[in-house]
Amino acid sequence: MENATAAAKAIQVVNETLINEFELEPATVVPEARMREDLGLDSLDAVDLVVALEKALKVQIPETVAREMRTVGDVHQYIVKAAAERGQ
């Protein structure tokens, strides 16, 4: 159950970061939402998101991985994995 709680917390941080940093409506921040097409985030926003998540969750997101993140779900998946590896 601890892992499920850690995963839920990591997902919550991702969602709150997207909502607060980019002034997105909470209803739009869903796993299938595409970063560019649905949320209107550009490449500079993606860099800002990576920096904010690295700071908030104390994880590293390699540039190559960040470039492959197309949807909110992609971000969730990587962050949950990275947080689990850190033991959060």
Q: Which residue has the tokens 């892992």?
A: 3
Q: Residues 69, 45: contact at Cβ < 8 Å?
A: no
Helix (H) / strand (E) containing 30? none
Distance (Å, whole) CA 59 – CA 88: 10
- Which of the residues 42, 45, 48, 74 is marked catalytic? 42
Distance (Å, whole) CA 4 – CA 32: 20
Q: Residues 57, 10: contact at Cβ < 8 Å?
A: yes
42 is catalytic: yes
Catalytic residues: 42
